Homo-oligomer: A and B are copies of this chain.
Amino acid sequence: MALLAPRAGHARVVGLTGSPGVGKSTSTSALVAAYRRRGMRVGVLAVDPSSPFSGGALLGDRVRMQEHATDDGVFIRSMASRGHLGGLSWATPQALRVLSAAGCDVVLVETVGVGQAEVEIASLADTTLVLLAPGMGDGIQAAKAGILEVADVFVVNKADREGSDSVVRDLRYMLSLGDRRTDDGWRVPIVKTVASRGEGAAEVVDEIERHGAWLASSGRLEQRRIKRAADEVEAIALTSLRVDLRNGALDDLAARVVAGDLDPYAAADELVASLDT
């Protein structure tokens, strides 16, 4: 990591999230092709936060990405989400750094939009795409799940199907109700795509680039990256402190809590005081 540090952090990080069935993998593949046509090197991280037990990776998605498997301008990695924190893998920021140091101009991080994964992807990404598709009741659910809060660009995929116009209309209406970004100067665009035929992928890349330019010129790109690095440094520090705590007087303190001699807050104070940093 020390060796990578000077080379890392140059790739644009783009998050893709959405409910199962909206066509995330197909869209990722179409975006890869669109970026490649512009001569850019692309990394793909497919993170599966839904398998805390199996640790299994997204085999199905790998298959769908096979058309890019022999292109040496494309790096693809599937990761399961492990550990206690739910959502994205601890290893995701490290993988981003490796892909960036390997010369990727853009890294697409794809994850299923369940629970808080979409919030975490937004904290990792420079630009977050939220995918929707007609006929999935996503209009209402979008508002519920808080994805309006994280989307920098909305992509309405399967736009050749009936109902795509009403998805766009619902999104416009919801954006008009609570556009947090009106103050910021960024109006969240809505792009229609048919990812299976590559339609609209170039427009999505245009919007990603436009958002990136806005982030950079407004100083927000730097802010987001510092916030992201701070989260990662904090997480590493807490993991290391947790090991120190486990090696300390924890079991004795816990026994005194069970015996009723000590409340857990006083025990935690003693535990922290016992740390030798």
* Bound CA span A14–B251, Å: 23
Interface of A is mostly: helix
CB pair A234–B242 under 8 Å, yes or no, is yes
Q: Which residue of B has the minimal Cβ distance to A7? A: B260
A267 at interface (Cβ–Cβ under 8 A)? yes
From residue A143, how far is it (CB to closest CB) to chain B in Å? 10
A63 at interface (Cβ–Cβ under 8 A)? no
Q: How many monomers of this chain does the complex have?
A: 2
* Bound CA span A248–B236, Å: 15
Q: Which of B144, B242, B277 contacts A273 (CB 8 A)?
A: B277
Known interface pairs A5-B260, A254-B227, A258-B229; A268-B87 also in contact (CB < 8 Å): no
* Bound CA span A257–B236, Å: 13
- In order of increasing CB-CB distance, the 4 nearest A-B pairs are A86-B86, A230-B254, A236-B268, A229-B254
13 A-B pairs whose Cβ atoms sit less than 8 Å apart in the complex: A1-B263, A6-B261, A52-B115, A53-B144, A93-B264, A226-B251, A226-B255, A229-B254, A229-B264, A230-B253, A232-B257, A233-B264, A275-B277
